[in-house]
């Protein structure tokens, strides 16, 4: 069985559309670069977003998945095809940064221990105050019972400004 030949006019039209979409994508990428975006910052959603702002240049997300556009993105090194850059640092600089990080860790660990000690002290103080409060409540309850047995309403005594509570 023979493979069907496509119409030359159709093939030419498809190729023109491919070239137009490639030009649109390249124009948007160039516009983003001109605005100060780095290759790592030029993402597929950003390309689509910026294309909406440019006249006659709207790009759909589906277009960015087409093979001829993926090739452009790879060539430009943008989107998911960002070129990885390895930065070599001086070993002495790395050692200094490591020592600095270690001293920061030690300082923060000391601060953490201090905060833990303060927290424990506050917890003990709180427990002591709770015990005092509980004892005072018990004494007040006994006073109310004793006063009611004597026929005195302590609330009236407390509310009356003529009476003063003497310690």
Q: How far apart are CA 118 and CA 26, in angstroms?
A: 61
- pLDDT of amino acid 126: 96
The Cα-based distances of 158 to 53, 64, 120, 137 in angstroms read 76, 82, 38, 16
Q: Measured between alpha carbons, how far is 163 from 60 in angstroms, rounded to an integer?
A: 85
Are residues 49 and 101 located together in one domain of the fold? no
Instruction: Judge whether 61 lies within some domain.
Output: yes
Label residues 93-110 b or e (16+ Cβ within 10 Å = b): eeeeeeeeeeeeeeeeee
Which of 74, 78, 76, 34 lies closest to 54, judged by CA?
34
Q: Which residues of the chain have pLDDT under 70?
A: 1-3, 85-87, 163-167
Give a yes or no: residue 144 inside a domain. Answer: yes
Residues near 81 by Cβ (< 8 Å), separated by ≥ 6?
Answer: 70, 73, 74
Final residue belonging to a domain, choices 47, 81, 115: 81
- Do 65 and 125 fall within a single domain? no
Structurally, the chain folds into a number of domains equal to 2
Which of 31, 56, 81 marks a domain boundary?
81
Single out the residue in 81, 104, 123 at which a domain terminates: 81
- Domain that includes residue 31, residue range: 14-81
Tens digit of pLDDT for each residue in 52-92? 887 777 888 888 889 998 999 888 888 887 777 666 778 88
**Gap between the Cα atoms of 102 and 120, Å rounded:** 27
Cα 38–chain centre separation: 22
What's the confidence (pLDDT) of residue 151? 84
CA 65-24-78 angle, to 5 degrees, is 55
Reported pTM: 0.47
Q: Are 82 and 40 in contact (CB under 8 A)?
A: yes
Both tokens of 11, joined, read: 């093939």
Q: Give the pLDDT confidence score for residue 101 in this predicted structure.
A: 95
105 and 146 in a common domain = yes
| Same-domain check for residues 103 and 75 | no
């Amino acid at each position: 069985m023979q493979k069907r030949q496509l119409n030359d006019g159709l093939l030419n039209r498809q190729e023109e559309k491919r070239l137009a979409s490639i030009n649109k994508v390249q124009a948007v990428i160039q516009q983003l670069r001109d605005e100060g975006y780095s290759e790592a910052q030029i993402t597929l959603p950003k390309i689509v977003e910026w294309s909406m702002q440019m006249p006659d240049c709207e790009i759909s997300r589906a277009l960015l998945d087409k093979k001829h556009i993926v090739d452009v993105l790879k060539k430009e090194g943008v989107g998911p095809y960002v070129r990885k850059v390895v930065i070599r640092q001086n070993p002495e600089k790395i050692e200094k940064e490591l020592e600095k990080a270690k001293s920061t860790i030690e300082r923060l660990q000391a601060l953490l221990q201090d905060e833990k000690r303060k927290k424990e002290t506050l917890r003990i103080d709180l427990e002591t105050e709770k015990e005092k409060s509980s004892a005072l409540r018990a004494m007040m309850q006994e006073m109310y019972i004793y006063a009611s047995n004597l026929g005195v309403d302590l609330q009236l005594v407390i509310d009356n400004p003529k009476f003063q509570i003497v310690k």
